[in-house]
């Protein structure tokens, strides 16, 4: 492949990313997957012998992630709030992926006490190779977790931080290095980090803004988490799915879904980079934001850029609220 062809492909990819709409839709992935330099799909059996845990696994991106990981041979734990629904989803996946090794575990990721219970009681999680933080919510009104934290920040940041920290011994034992993936959102591009108001107690509450703020916090803390967990051979990544057609989008953003429905990716397309990050060997560099199998900038607007002091303040707040030490 010529250098010119690669440059043209990279330029087109970047242009779609910076203009947002083309790159985030199904068109973006359709074009990129045909460009020179598109990374190869993981080979069959790429995750044979590996154990993965996926939160929010009963619908949308989580369900698609579980199914694709199972197709690649992984043993997958479905970490869900609703166990009967989780068992139904497990049965559905087994019809499409006969012989898949799947198990359902109960955990409300927003409830820090329940996260502690889940890790303490979970059987067979002594060895873990992959942890996907996919559970998400976008409440219309300000809602608090069991510990009194604003729900989106508890569910998208505090719960995942605590769960990963408690599972570090299991992840540390991964043969070729464990991976942690935060499924974030392109919506975070419109928000700056709010270390001054992490619980969203100031101003008029907006569910979409709260969601985007919590996702911005995930992305901003990637370098900190990569350094913290990297000492145990654990690589941490964030990936955003673009605009995907999921039940969460239908329920929380009905107008957006009605207008852009034909251009939205299906759940499998939205989960593609999460699965690729889980299976590609060797592991990609940690601490980065990924979309369509390529690391992406964390800011598209100058007004959202974060300074080191603000990032440090956010990390110290999250660390303390999640009860992490060190």
Annotated active-site positions, please? 211
Residues 6+ apart with CB under 8 A from 122: 77, 105
Burial call 38-62: b when 16+ CB within 10 Å, e when fewer: beeebeeebbeebbbbbbbbbebbb
How far is residue 192 from each of residues 106, 214, 238, 321, measured CA to CA in Å?
Answer: 33, 10, 17, 21
HSE-CB of 225 using CA atoms within 13 angstroms: 34
- Select from 168, 84, 91 the least CA-distant residue to 131: 168
Local structure of residue 123 (DSSP, 8 states): T
| Token reading at 133 | 């933080």
Rounded Cα distance, 116 and 43, in Å: 36
Contacts of 40 (CB under 8 A, 6+ apart): none
Helix ranges, 72-135 (H): 83-96, 112-121
Rounded Cα–Cα distance for residues 126 and 170 (Å): 5
């Amino acid at each position: 492949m010529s250098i010119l062809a690669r440059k043209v492909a990279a330029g087109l990819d970047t242009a779609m990313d910076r203009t947002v709409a083309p790159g985030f839709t199904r068109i973006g992935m359709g074009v990129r997957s045909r460009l020179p330099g598109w990374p190869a799909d993981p080979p069959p059996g790429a995750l044979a012998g590996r154990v993965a845990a996926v939160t929010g696994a009963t619908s949308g991106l989580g369900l698609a992630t579980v199914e694709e990981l199972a197709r690649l041979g992984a043993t997958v734990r479905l970490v869900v709030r609703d166990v009967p629904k989780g068992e139904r989803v497990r049965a559905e996946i087994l019809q499409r992926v006969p012989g898949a090794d799947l198990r359902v575990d109960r955990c409300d990721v927003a409830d820090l006490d329940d996260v502690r219970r889940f890790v303490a009681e979970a059987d067979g999680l002594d060895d873990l190779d992959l942890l996907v933080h996919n559970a998400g919510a976008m409440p219309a009104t300000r809602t608090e977790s069991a510990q009194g934290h604003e729900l989106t920040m508890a569910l998208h940041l505090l719960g995942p931080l605590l769960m990963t920290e408690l599972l570090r011994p299991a992840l540390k034992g991964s043969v070729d290095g464990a991976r942690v993936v935060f499924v974030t959102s392109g919506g975070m591009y419109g928000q700056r980090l709010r270390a001054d108001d992490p619980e969203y107690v100031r101003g008029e509450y907006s569910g979409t803004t709260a969601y985007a703020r919590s996702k911005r916090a995930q992305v901003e803390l990637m370098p900190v988490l990569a350094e913290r967990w990297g000492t145990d051979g654990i690589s941490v990544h964030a990936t955003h799915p673009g605009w995907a057609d999921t039940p969460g989008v239908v329920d929380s953003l009905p107008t957006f879904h009605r207008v852009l429905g034909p251009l939205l990716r299906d759940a499998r397309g939205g989960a593609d980079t999460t699965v690729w990050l889980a299976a590609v060997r060797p592991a990609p560099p940690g601490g980065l934001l990924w979309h369509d199998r390529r690391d992406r900038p964390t800011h598209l607007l100058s007004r959202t850029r974060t300074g080191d002091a603000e990032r440090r303040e956010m990390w110290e707040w999250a660390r303390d609220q999640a009860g992490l030490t060190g």
